[in-house]
Amino acid sequence: MAKGIRTSVAWLVILSLLLSACASRHVPPIGADGKAFKPESDERSLWAAAEKEEEALLKKAKVYDDPLLEEYLAGIGDRLTPEQVRAAGGPGFKFGVLRDPTLNAFALPNGHIYVHTGLLSRLDNESQLAMIVGHEMTHVTHRHALSFQRDIQTKQILYTVAAVAASIGVAAVAGSRAQKGDHVGAAVIGQTANAILGLGLALTTMAAINGYGRDLERDADNGGMENLVRAGYDPKEAPKVFALLRSESKDRGSLETFFFGSHPKLTERIETTEGLLRSKYAEAAAAPTTTRDTEDFQLRMRSVVRENAYEDIRAGRFPVAQRQLDRVLAITPRDPIAHTYYGDLHRLQAQRAREADKKAEHARLALRLQGDTRKTALEFRKHFGWYTKGLPGASELRQRLFAIESMAEAETIFANYLAASAELIAA
């Protein structure tokens, strides 16, 4: 099966490159000549293919449904859009968020940009987010997908096919690890990447996994910095976001690091953006009036950080998840859902712990954290009804939680459920 997918995707990429051989490889950015933008025929075909791939992907990937967050991202995108691009026209930007703990974002050639919750949850402020968004927008406005498609050099074809094949090989390894019970190894490449590769989405593979090669990725970093400065954001945050992501890499495992390794190395990106700060954007970096962060960013990211922690818990990345939950509880210490997830964290740690004392300790913490969740009876039933989804005896427990009116009784029922689970764990 994996061999068949590998072959079909490889030929899809080769075919797309060869079909565009007659087109000019020089692709100016949208609005570069001051004229209205008119896509060429192969570019229109590229957009149509991207829409079909996107439709297929969204049937398999987990969408993070938050219209207010999407509206917030669209506002940042509007602020970052260059005036020459706005005047020339072109594909309209649309933003979406995927519930995936891997550190990734990608832009399709039709202007649709997706950010993973894993990446959003690691950012400290709006300037860092603007750098990520500006980078992805540059892929669209500089028409990198079209440039990449028209590059028919033999080495580029071989590089692309080899990269796709290698990526699919990693997906196959992840699948085998899952069958052997290694859920951490299976989860590190993420559901989105597995869906992209499993469906054979060639354009999305280039955008989300392989990247467009060092030159075009470096161009996107330069464009992201330019967008950042023009929009009035603090450019000093650009290298910081890459340094932050580099520091995260040690906790993410070799599979995930390799899987997205076709993007320029994070160290190189730090050096590039720091060089721009010392030269081209030195004045902007020293300006006292730039925007570093906003209340909207902190408000919108709080639930993202919390929900992504749950995804990392499911992936078995307990230290990463714990840091995220600590971040949420430092701001909202009585967040009932965060406490619920903390209980889940300890429950799973107890299940996977090899030593009896570790099992008992995590089971005890799970019970204590459940007792810390003090909200109304309705909220209690809602949170724990959702929390138990898919767990042993969950259906009966949910029915009981939603049927009662007393919060104290609901807490007692759930405590008994956890206690029984702890006994099973200890055994």
pLDDT for position 360:
57
pLDDT for position 249:
67
pTM of the shown model? 0.76
Residue 370 pLDDT > 90, yes or no? no
Of 313, 312, 389, the residue nearest 344 (C-alpha): 313
Sequence-separated (6 or more) residues with CB below 8 Å from residue 192: 57, 61, 62, 98, 100, 102, 104, 116, 208
* Same-domain check for residues 110 and 52: yes
Beta bridge partners of 97: 115
Of 383, 314, 305, 325, the residue nearest 349 (C-alpha): 314
CA 58 to CA 197: how far, in whole Å? 13
* Same-domain check for residues 32 and 176: yes
pLDDT average, residue stretch 277-304: 95
* Same-domain check for residues 253 and 368: no
pLDDT band at 181 (very low <50, low <70, confident <90, very high): very low
pLDDT for position 235:
97
Which strands form 105-107's sheet, in the order they lie side by side? 94-98, 112-116, 105-107
Provide, for the chain, the percentages of residues in helix, strand and coil under a 3-state DSSP scheme, each rounded to the nearest 5. 70, 5, 25
Within a domain: residue 408?
yes
* Same-domain check for residues 276 and 198: yes
pLDDT for position 47:
95
* Same-domain check for residues 269 and 342: no
pLDDT for position 421:
54
Burial category of 1 from C-beta neighbours within 10 Å (exposed 0-12, middle 13-18, buried 19 and up): exposed
As a three-state string, the secondary structure of 335-377 is: CHHHHHHHHHHHHHHHHHCCCHHHHHHHHHHHHHHHHHCCCCH
Full residue range of the structural domain in which residue 77 is found:
2-286
pLDDT for position 309:
95
Q: Which residue has the tokens 């055994």?
A: 427
Burial category of 327 from C-beta neighbours within 10 Å (exposed 0-12, middle 13-18, buried 19 and up): middle
Of 286, 314, 344, the position where a domain reaches its end is: 286
The total of structural domains in the chain comes to 2
Residue 26: both structure tokens together: 């020089």
* Same-domain check for residues 169 and 96: yes
Within a domain: residue 173?
yes
* Same-domain check for residues 185 and 246: yes
pLDDT average, residue stretch 51-77: 96
pLDDT for position 212:
83
* Same-domain check for residues 412 and 265: no
CB of 114 within 8 A of CB of 97? yes
* Same-domain check for residues 279 and 341: no
Question: Minimum mean pLDDT among 309-313, 356-360, 378-382: which range?
Answer: 378-382
* Same-domain check for residues 338 and 234: no
pLDDT band at 206 (very low <50, low <70, confident <90, very high): confident
Within a domain: residue 392?
yes
Half-sphere exposure of 140 (CA within 13 A, CB side): 29
Burial category of 164 from C-beta neighbours within 10 Å (exposed 0-12, middle 13-18, buried 19 and up): buried
pLDDT average, residue stretch 3-14: 46
Residue 9 pLDDT > 50, yes or no? no
